[in-house]
Amino acid sequence: MKNFLVISFKILVSLVIILTLITLGICIYSLTVMKISFDNNLITDNNLTIEVFNSQNLMLNEQNTFNSVKISLENVPEHTKQAFISIEDKNFYNHNGISVKRMAKAFINNLKSMKIIEGASTISQQLIKNTHLTNEKTLTRKLNEISLTMELERNFSKDEILENYLNIIYFGSNCYGLENASQYYFSKNAKDLNIAESAMLAGMIKSPNYYSPIRQYERCLFRRNVVLEEMKNDGAISESECTAEKNKELEININETRKNKLNTYSQSAIDEAMLILKMPEKQIAIGGYKIYTYQNLDNQLIIEKLAESYKDSLVDNDFAFIDINPENGGVLSYLGKSNYKILEYKRQPGSAIKPLLVYGPAINEDIISPATLILDEPISIEGYEPKNIGDKYYGYISAREALANSLNSSTIKIASYLGLDKIKKYANSFEIELDENDNSYSLTLGGMTYGTNLKQLAGGYTAFANKGKFSSPKFVHYITTKDGKVIYKNNEEKRNIFREDSAYLTTDMLKSCVQNGTARKLRTLPFEVASKTGTAGTKKGNTDAYNIAYTTENVTGVWIGNMDNKIIDIAGGNLPTLINRDYFESIYKNKTPGNFVQPSSIEELEIDLNEYENNHNIVIANPLTLERYIKREKFSRFNLPKESNENFNAHPANLTGYIKNNKVFLSFNANNFLTYEIYKQNGTDNKLIKTISGQGGVINIENDIKDKEKISYYIITKLVLGEKVINEEKSNVLTLYNSSNPLMKIKEKWYL
């Protein structure tokens, strides 16, 4: 009796909730909702196009048509129809478009979570949502959906509803409709789908990206098997069929003729517009919205032609190219080749990330200058042990050379001076998303948990190209309604990431990458260009290769790799750099980009090369320093080196030595900017035996002698400019006693 009362009470509560929901819905609907008119044409005419325009207001010559291939329900296999009905709407043929039971369950779950997470939509409701409404989860939209669904059921038969539903639902990878999805994922017509393939497609539509057979194999496999289990429960397939189909692998066969539509400029612009308008592309097409982009037609045609010329080199690899205007972040050209939407994926950026996270920030924080010397050596920081390529190390090397040659050990040392907190702050400034597990300095070498994409990576370099100001890269300039009313315009302001002098110095260092470093395949270009290469991989080989290059007018990025991490025989310094070189040659064929303008806060100074090389200090050279002992380098006024070296004079040398087997062995420390005259003294007779000039470090001299009891030496140190001796100093007189002379007294040996 007690259980009966409990059950009765629960039923009563559920009925009250349902009635309350319906009553509340009717009130809100009548008071606040503007009813959307039902349109038969939107149900049957799914062949829609989104108009995308370039910067010259010319429509992009790329296919943006949806559902161009349809299938009639009579050609859909019975097991395929049943797969969708079993997982999406078991009572499809028995309800009038609305499932009160499912709505009540969804309402209770939403009430528990205090937000709308379930929609309880039938197939009829999903068809209305995909043709008449947006995806927003609001009560207003839901009420419109219910009203329109009832209208749908009055105007179309169940078979007509199911046919139109199968021809409009989204399967990911730019595939709308069952026929398009079947041709893309399996390279076959929908009429030939088997049970397992049908179940996979039916399972995907809940969340095409989450259950993608390309991106999320295990999730897709699990979801397919859920569908098969439901089909078995509904009697659509037998238990033995269910077991046999569940034991099959996912056997996708991507249609090569369709895949490149995923990575066109127009598709990337549409993807961006979906985020801006917060609606799926189907709704953008239905609404007649027009998308105006930053694309430069000439630049786009150039990269398409170049990609065609390099197709033999790219045939087995995925590829992407982007060109960004550093002034406003507008994407001037874009092209990709892959089974995947490349910009939706994150890849390890390799050394191409170093200027953004290490060198640019370290200069901006006045931690280093291009001339700063770093001891390049094997290191271990917090258990992380970076290795240079070939496990080769270079001793003391300038920050400029470390970046040009992409040395990992030196980069990590500089990163440790910055600290991870500042590094992450700069990453966020460039809109490079880091994972919570990115807590190792390895991220500064491109060793991130997930990585970044080419648009974000190349976009960061706009801050170097545009005097420290970062512009977030965008495909979409503005969007209008079908009547021409502007509803969105990209007015995002540039953000100051670096001081102007910091951006200039980093650019100057990246110009050295072109002249002497890993990007030297660009140095044949007859104008100023800065660049950084990047290569990522495993012990088995390379997986990703990059070149990011820029002038004052264009920031370009090239990526070559494979989304399945297949090994490539390409590094950032070869094919990606060659593609960027050819692109620049073409776009600047009839014009020349401006030079990078040196800001007033930059000073070019002469530093003492002797102090720099011998003592690893950056000291401004004395006015008397010889030309050959001067190194010129650029500095920010906020981070200048020490003042002139006042000790640039001829200092007395400290001469030491000994005699052995009638030979004198002399030694002293020399500076390479001084001249040393070594004399042998014999009474009043002084004989010059050797002159040393232009040599630094320890100098060793041998001199033969005869059986003399003692012999003396001294050095005259001279500072010579041209032919003029500026000053000179005499060293100590070193007197040595010949122990091999039998006349020598034992007591005199202490002189040795």
Q: Is the pLDDT of residue 465 over 50?
A: yes
Q: Is the pLDDT of residue 442 over 90?
A: yes
Specify whether the CB–CB gap between 718 and 725 falls below 8 A.
yes
Q: What is the dihedral of CA 11, 14, 20, 22, to 10 degrees?
A: -100
Range among 145-149, 382-386, 517-521 rated most confident? 517-521
- β-strand pairing of 290-293 with 51-53: parallel
Three-state DSSP class for residue 527: coil
Domain regions of the chain by residue span: 1-32, 37-260, 301-472+494-587, 602-636, 656-751
* Average pLDDT over all residues of the chain: 87
Biggest CA pair distance of the chain: 133
Range in 104-108, 226-230, 412-416, 479-483 with the lowest mean pLDDT:
104-108
**Which residues lie below 8 Å from residue 301, measured CB to CB, with a gap of 6+?**
none
Query: What pLDDT does 65 receive?
Result: 62
pLDDT in tens, 406-430: 999 999 999 999 999 999 999 999 9
Specify whether the CB–CB gap between 568 and 561 falls below 8 A.
yes
CA distance 323 to 533: 16
Query: What pLDDT does 30 receive?
Result: 42
CA distance 15 to 294: 56
Fold topology of 37-260: Penicillin binding protein transpeptidase fold (1.10.3810)
Does the CA dihedral 475-465-551-519 come out positive or negative?
negative
What average pLDDT does range 515-539 have in this prediction? 95
Query: What pLDDT does 107 receive?
Result: 55
Range in 311-315, 488-492, 660-664, 700-704 with the lowest mean pLDDT:
660-664
**pTM reported for the whole predicted model:** 0.76
pLDDT in tens, 241-268: 999 999 999 999 988 666 567 889 999 9
CA 291 to chain centre: 26
CA 368 to chain centre: 24
What number of other Cβ atoms are within 10 A of residue 406's Cβ? 25
Query: What pLDDT does 743 receive?
Result: 45
What average pLDDT does range 6-25 have in this prediction? 56
- β-strand pairing of 656-660 with 630-636: unpaired
What average pLDDT does range 174-182 have in this prediction? 89
Range in 119-133, 445-459, 644-658 with the lowest mean pLDDT:
644-658
Specify whether the CB–CB gap between 309 and 321 falls below 8 A.
no
Query: What pLDDT does 68 receive?
Result: 64
What average pLDDT does range 580-608 have in this prediction? 95
Share of the chain above pLDDT 90, in %: 61
Three-state DSSP class for residue 94: coil
pLDDT in tens, 97-109: 887 766 665 555 5
**Which residues lie below 8 Å from residue 59, measured CB to CB, with a gap of 6+?**
51, 52, 53
Range in 407-416, 513-522, 731-740 with the lowest mean pLDDT:
731-740
CA distance 100 to 335: 48
Count of positions (residues) in the chain: 752
Query: What pLDDT does 745 receive?
Result: 42
Q: Is the pLDDT of residue 563 over 90?
A: no
Q: Spell 55-87 as b/e; 16+ CB within 10 A means b.
A: beeeebeeebebbeebbebeebbebbbbbbbbb
pLDDT band, residue 750 (cuts 50/70/90): very low
CA distance 299 to 556: 11
What average pLDDT does range 654-680 have in this prediction? 88
Query: What pLDDT does 643 receive?
Result: 72
Q: Which of 636, 710, 705 is nearest to 665 (CA)?
A: 705
What average pLDDT does range 733-743 have in this prediction? 71
Q: Is the pLDDT of residue 709 over 90?
A: no
CA 14 to chain centre: 52
Q: Is the pLDDT of residue 58 over 50?
A: yes
Fold topology of 656-751: Immunoglobulin-like (2.60.40)
Task: Assign domain 301-472+494-587 to its CATH superfamily.
Answer: DD-peptidase/beta-lactamase superfamily (3.40.710.10)
176, two tokens: 């709308």
Query: What pLDDT does 114 receive?
Result: 47
Three-state DSSP class for residue 106: helix
Q: Spell 338-377 as b/e; 16+ CB within 10 A means b.
A: bbbbbbebbbbbbbbbbbbbbbbbbbbbebbbbbbbbebe
Range among 274-288, 345-359, 644-658 rated most confident? 345-359
Specify whether the CB–CB gap between 609 and 670 falls below 8 A.
no
Query: What pLDDT does 441 receive?
Result: 93
Range in 305-309, 645-649, 692-696 with the lowest mean pLDDT:
645-649
What average pLDDT does range 532-555 have in this prediction? 96
Query: What pLDDT does 261 receive?
Result: 75
CA 743 to chain centre: 81
Range in 125-134, 170-179, 362-371, 732-741 with the lowest mean pLDDT:
732-741
One DSSP character per residue, 433-496 reads ---TT--SGGGGGT--SS-B-HHHHHHHTHHHHTTTEE---BSEEEEE-TT--EEEE--PPPEE
656-751 has the same fold as 37-260: no
The helix (run of H) or strand (run of E) holding residue 331 is: strand 331-337
CA distance 544 to 529: 23
Residue type present at position 627: E
What number of other Cβ atoms are within 10 A of residue 728's Cβ? 16
Q: Quick one: DSSP state of residue 62?
A: S
What average pLDDT does range 626-643 have in this prediction? 87
Among left, alpha and beta (phi > 0; psi -120 to 50; other), residue 339 is: alpha
Q: Is the pLDDT of residue 376 over 80?
A: yes
Q: HEC states along 154-219?
A: HHCCHHHHHHHHHCCCECCCCCECHHHHHHHHHCCCHHHCCHHHHHHHHHHCCCCCCCCCCCCHHH
CA distance 39 to 247: 44
CA distance 129 to 162: 14
Query: What pLDDT does 596 receive?
Result: 97
8, two tokens: 């009765």
Specify whether the CB–CB gap between 666 and 734 falls below 8 A.
yes
Q: Is the pLDDT of residue 120 over 70?
A: no
Q: Is the pLDDT of residue 651 over 60?
A: yes
**Phi, psi (5° rounding) for residue 740?**
-80, -5
Q: Quick one: DSSP state of residue 49?
A: B
Q: Is the pLDDT of residue 700 over 80?
A: yes
**Which residues lie below 8 Å from residue 295, measured CB to CB, with a gap of 6+?**
54, 55, 60, 265, 269, 331, 332, 333, 334, 475
